[in-house]
Amino acid sequence: MKAEGVVLEGTGGVWKVRTTEGAEHLTSMRGRLKQEEKIKLAVGDHVTIEQDDAGDSWAITTIKERTSRLARRAPGGRYAERVIVANLDQVVVVFAAANPEPHAGMIDRFLVIAESNDLAVRLVVNKCELTDPSVVDTLMKPYADAGYEIHRTSVKTGQGIAELHDMLAGRVSALTGPSGVGKSSLLNAIFPGVNLRVGEISESVNKGRHTTVGAKLVPLPENGFVVDTPGLREVGLWGISSDDVDQCFPEIRERIGTCRFRDCVHDGEPGCAIREAVAAGEISSARHQSYLKLREELAESENVY
């Protein structure tokens, strides 16, 4: 017997695969494949599995090429990246309008992680019933200007829940954002009974353990999957070169090459198109500040190595 499927999770060489028909099997990698394949299998990979003649075990025999991946790269790019999830369709960055108070710098950080992995990303502002809509509009304006799709939701009032459902159904999504913003509540409101747990792994859970808790794909009732822990924070900004940070801000990216100097870092050089756009109100000053801050932070970590 042969089947096509998706890797849901894996521990200690045992991989749980869900077939297109919806059956789940515990599998292991066929020995020959292990030696041949240079890429390591990851959650989200599309695979072919085969049952042995006795009918009591399944083996992964082929891994399909990935369309995307969320990876944790080593500092300085010296070591191989570790793929956390393969074939992600989108990252959904969730924040709250209030409680906890949103921080633009943190939103930017999540967006940069998604952008550096070339993943599609959308923003969700939950708990919208807690503030005046104009407050959310002001907070989101830089992101709307940068071209991000933004969804306003409230689990309390039901605002935006149907819309978010349609954005998740049939796709592979990673929900991320600070804890307490309502990620689990949103998923449970959208897919009642699925009982997803999409928190960031708390420090204490990870501390003192040598094994990192892997990502897990949770099948949604109407096709599609949501990635359960770890969040993007686990991925971090590691491996992003300080020179590439401008590529991770769409509104800066589209202007790269229009500055007077080729190697402009958009930090006070004459003839900088980015600073001109900030002065003209076309790029948000806060986003530009975030860019400078992340660039500096990464440059500092590069000097350590």
| Minimum gap (Å) between residue 242 Cβ and Zn ion | 14
- State the nearest-atom distance from the C-beta of 125 to ligand GDP, in Å: 10
Work out how close the CB of 190 gets to ligand GDP at its nearest, in angstroms, rounded to a whole number.
Answer: 12
Binding mask 143-182 for ligand GDP (x = CB under 6 A): -----------xxx----------------------xxxx
Report the 10 Å Cβ neighbour count for 108: 23
For residue 77, give the DSSP letter.
G
Judged by CB under 5 A, which of 264, 278, 283, 298 binds Zn ion? Answer: 264
Q: Report how far residue 91's alpha carbon sits from residue 112's, in angstroms, rounded to the nearest whole number.
A: 11
Q: Between 133-145 and 104-116, two packed helices, what is the crossing angle to 10 degrees?
A: 30
Q: Which stretch binds ligand GDP (CB under 6 A): 52-60, 127-135, 229-237, 249-257?
A: 127-135
CB 168 within 8 A of CB 190: yes
- The footprint of ligand GDP on this chain (CB under 6 A) covers a number of residues equal to 16
In the list Zn ion, ligand GDP, none, the entry touching 266 (Cβ below 5 to 8 angstroms by class) is: Zn ion
Count CB neighbours of 211 within 10 A. 8
Task: Give yes or no for a contact between 30 and 39, defined as CB atoms under 8 angstroms apart.
Answer: no
The SS3 assignment for 298 reads helix
Considering only residues 187 to 206 of the shown chain, the ones binding ligand GDP according to CB under 6 A are 198-199
Q: Torsion over CA of 188, 190, 193 and 195, rounded to 10 degrees?
A: -30
Q: Which of ligand GDP, Zn ion, none does residue 272 bind to, with CB < 5 to 8 Å depending on kind?
A: Zn ion
Binding site for Zn ion (CB under 5 A): 259, 264, 266, 272, 274
Binding positions for ligand GDP, rule: CB under 6 A:
126-127, 129-130, 154-156, 179-185, 198-199
